[in-house]
């Protein structure tokens, strides 16, 4: 498949607004991949498919979580988290994309995880900073993304955790693990 085929495959699964977001995330991911020496093709592929399952029914996603190797504890958290790991499974099944790095970047683009590779960080970050987004703290992350992938992802996770805590929402453990891992990297092991 090539870029145009990827776009054609994802478009029917998204609203027009989410499709435009996806294209912006893909452009941002390619820019970040160039900056941080990661495969631009893999970054673009993962970004194009990052929200592939976003509008699947909750029943379909729930069933896929229960019938797959995904942790069932996902079901205890807000369904907005489900589309990322479910999307990685559906992209493999329906689009025959088997690259584990690309699938990992799709899977963890909402939560992050400890020991993220650069591609996973790029898709998480691209989704957060794409030009159509606007919310408090975003400019600090965009500025950090100019030269520091780890710090910009750390800021992304910090802001996400603070936002969710402010709403009284539960936070998926992978997000804390990602934040703690990046904090350790920034602070030299502490």
In a domain, 75, yes or no: yes
In a domain, 79, yes or no: yes
For the four alpha carbons of 90, 15, 61 and 168, in that order, the dihedral sign comes to positive
- What's the domain count of the chain? 1
In a domain, 163, yes or no: no
How much is the pTM? 0.96
Residue 190 — very low, low, confident or very high, per pLDDT cuts 50/70/90?
A: low
In a domain, 107, yes or no: yes
Q: Is the pLDDT of residue 63 over 80?
A: yes
* C-alpha to C-alpha distances, 172 to 6, 12, 31, 185, nearest whole angstrom: 30, 29, 29, 21
Domain containing residue 113: CATH number = 1.10.3210.10
In a domain, 48, yes or no: yes
CA atoms within 13 A on the CB side of 112: 32
In a domain, 183, yes or no: no
In a domain, 140, yes or no: no
Place of tokens 């970040």: 32
Residue 31's domain comprises 3-135
User: What is residue 121's DSSP assignment?
Assistant: H
Average pLDDT score, the chain: 97
The 10 Å Cβ neighbour count of residue 80 is 10
In a domain, 189, yes or no: no
Joined tokens for residue 53: 């399952």
CA proximity to 46, closest of 33, 64, 65, 60: 33
- pLDDT, tens digit, 9 for 90 and up, residues 116-140: 999 999 999 999 999 999 999 999 9
């Amino acid at each position: 498949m090539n870029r145009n085929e990827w776009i054609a495959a994802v478009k029917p699964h998204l609203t027009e607004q989410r499709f435009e977001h996806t294209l912006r995330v893909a452009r941002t991911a390619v820019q970040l991949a160039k900056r941080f020496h990661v495969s631009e093709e893999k970054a673009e592929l993962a970004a194009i498919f990052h929200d592939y399952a976003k509008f699947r029914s909750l029943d379909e996603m729930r069933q896929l979580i229960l019938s797959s190797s995904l942790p069932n504890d996902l079901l205890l958290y807000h369904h907005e988290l489900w589309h990322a790991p479910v999307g990685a499974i559906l992209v493999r099944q329906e689009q025959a994309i088997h690259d584990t790095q690309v699938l990992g970047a799709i899977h963890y683009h909402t939560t992050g995880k400890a020991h993220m590779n650069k591609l996973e960080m790029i898709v998480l970050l691209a989704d957060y900073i794409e030009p159509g987004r606007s919310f408090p703290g975003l400019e600090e992350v965009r500025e950090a993304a100019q030269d520091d992938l780890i710090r910009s992802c750390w800021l992304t996770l910090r802001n996400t955790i603070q936002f969710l805590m402010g709403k009284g929402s539960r936070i998926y453990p992978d997000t804390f693990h990602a934040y703690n891992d990046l904090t350790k990297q920034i602070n030299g092991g502490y």
